[in-house]
Structure 1
Amino acid sequence: MLKKFVFIFVVLAVIFILEQYRLFSVYGVNPNLFLIAFLFFVFNARAFWFAASVAASLAVFVFFFSPYLTVSSAVLLLLVLAFHFIKKFMTGTPFLDFLVFVLTGTLLLYLFIGVFRLTSLPAGFIFLEALYNLALGAVVWLALGERSKLK
């Protein structure tokens, strides 16, 4: 179990760092790789405590290495953990449920961040990022899919 925890933590930390360099940016739209990856891991986690422990360790990581992202990362982590409970009430089709989580997660993330920071982003930008996140989320799911059930 510790190996899985360390592996997931390292993967998410690397994704978080890569996202800061905007390597996948297309016309100024940067996908939220961290959201997609963290949703994927939490969606496939069977035990809540496992997902919560990964979230807590990532919160500490973000706080120490990118303190300016603390609010947005905290909103993201709480949102993704809430999805862990909501997935019981979804359609039962994992691929579709995951894509719904990616779309609603992207939209709610910017809504909540805007409320906490008292700012807003243009709706077109959020829409394009949501589409980009959906496309990458589909690629991640089709590449890794249900083979990655985490205990």
Structure 2
Amino acid sequence: MNIQEDPIHAVELELPSPPVPVANYVPVRQVGNLVFTSGQTPTRDGILTVSGKLGRELTVEEGQQASATAALNCLSALRQHLGSLDRIVSVVSLTGYVASAEGFADQPAVINGASLILERAFGDKGRHARAAVGVAELPGQAPVEISLIVEV
């Protein structure tokens, strides 16, 4: 699916198939006009596209690509839940976790990959509050995990 299929989006970004939960949770939960995504990793069809830690096996640029892929997975889950990304009034918040080697401190640069995707897709509506957190490990040796809160 292309984000472009929704009339407000003039950019071409390929959305993957909606992610399938791998444990006991739902991909999206709506409370009033806020919609929360579960954390998404850089997978395609359930397969991790890249693994490893930033600052050891992966460069900042590779981490940015991974965080962009994870953000697209969040958008795919949102689209499945909402029926259309046009319902999104704004991206409120992004939380990004970065599997980091000891001494790695460029988590914000890595999570910029996800932030830039959201701004590209939604313009000013895609600008958001954000946290970029370094962690020792992520599920399946994923390098990043992204979750979003959006307003509808």
TM-score by length of 2: 0.34
Which structure dedicates a bigger proportion of its chain to helix?
1
Which structure dedicates a bigger proportion of its chain to strand?
2
TM-score by length of 1: 0.34
